[in-house]
Structure 1
């Protein structure tokens, strides 16, 4: 088998309510996230795999930006490609229209499906259910697009997955000004390049991503009364930010602020006298500093 073939399953999708485009992918291939997923906010998403042509990514996004629908984009990409029968590609356009293509020479099982706002495809799979269950899971799931994409590839793996095994996974979601500090359109861009359980590891780091970069919800705001302060001070002592739990408010809040900034929780920093419960839960889960 050609070592450039990426035995893969992926899903490209669109959320019209949140105006998000994205992809999730798993493969028996090192660093699949560097090849398969491509997306641009307000434009669409492209997954290029099998005997992958990396040019399908930027070229496909350019065609989408020109206003071509997903099916026409795939036609343009494959028409002049002499190796198109070895390729696989899925496309979502700016309106959420979906298209997928599987060349007749892709290794079995290979194929794809489209549904409302998604294209799911895969090659060298255990069975067709890998793709159909991926689509069904996406259709039935709720919440942010990233959550739905991860649930979809989890269902694909549970249905059979890549017949050669598993090695890497990735997720990419774009939305206008949804990136760090509102200065980019990359809402989520996470990769697991080499791991025995890549989807589980991808979900773990995605949950960390949401913890660090998500916004505090109203129901997660906890007032720091004396009992909560005592509990937090105990954690700050255990983690090396305080020498004693018996400190005045000034020292306590200074040490807590240092903790927040050291752990990159600036986005969950609240007014003095309040703590995000997710931060408090994270503090409880941490081991002592070595």
Structure 2
């Protein structure tokens, strides 16, 4: 009743899971990830204990294929109905599909990823997800790669019962909000007629509010641009002799504080300011 991908970024710094299903709040059940350790997706009569157990095994250096074997061997429940995908900080991912999972069910895995699904429209769901993942190797953002793969599976028919929820979880050491967390992206669409598309929209918003600006695009706050920004900030109630302070104050109100750099302005921040003034 679910299709998912667990993956690792090309540089090995980020690990994550993307999942969609005709199931309420799939993000509460399927994904788990721990920075520098690995990621796990448990589904199809999901055994939620696989999440801490899988991460604990990965944390001791056990490779993903052996983690999957250990999880299945240690499960006293209906392993024929289980499905799980695991990826570690290095090496190949691994996936398991029990013989009793509802058709169509299956998965595939390779270096740094594992894809799996059950109750799918057909094998093209997994196949298209894998092609989407492999074809996006030039994309540096793991979150974008995971969602692209999920979108490919959705276009191929996804869950044959329909659509309801989707989720994305990505972790990277110290790269969460303000550098005080390892959770880079944590987005959930719990009940929506087109959850994968909605997840993509939320990821675009997340990039605006939580990603740091591209240094190559920053514009110096000098001359006419500095005067314009100062004037627009003043009209928004953020007048300050120090332009950096005024901009930071306004950006905090607008939840754009992650994009503030002293002495310059991010074009996305500038566009937002202009749109409001």
Same topology, TM > 0.5? yes
**Structure 2 equivalent of residue 83 of structure 1:** 78
**Structure 2 equivalent of residue 102 of structure 1:** 97
Q: Aligned partners of 2:220 and 2:175: how far apart in 1?
A: 29
Q: TM-score, normalised by structure 1?
A: 0.86
Q: TM-score, normalised by structure 2?
A: 0.90
Contact 1:22 1:145 in 2 (8 A): yes
1:207 and 2:204 correspond? yes
**Structure 1 equivalent of residue 161 of structure 2:** 164
1:265 to 256, 259, 264: 256
Contact 1:232 1:280 in 2 (8 A): no
**Structure 1 equivalent of residue 28 of structure 2:** 34
2:59 to 55, 59, 65: 65
**Structure 2 equivalent of residue 4 of structure 1:** none
Name the larger-Rg structure: 1
Q: Aligned partners of 2:127 and 2:7: how far apart in 1?
A: 15
CA offsets 1:83-124 (integer angstroms, 9 cap, x no match): 001111011123132111111111111110112211000011
Give the RMSD, CA atoms, in angstroms. 2.3
Contact 2:244 2:262 in 1 (8 A): no
Q: Aligned partners of 2:42 and 2:144: how far apart in 1?
A: 22
Contact 1:167 1:198 in 2 (8 A): yes
Structure 1 alignment gaps of length 5 or more: 1-6
In the alignment of these two chains, the number of paired residues is 273
Q: Is the alpha carbon distance of 1:231 and 1:61 closer, same or farther for their aligned partners in structure 2, counting shifts above 3 Å?
A: closer
Contact 2:7 2:16 in 1 (8 A): yes
Cα deviation, residue 281, structure 1: 2.1
Cα deviation, residue 283, structure 1: 3.2
1:48 to 35, 42, 54: 42
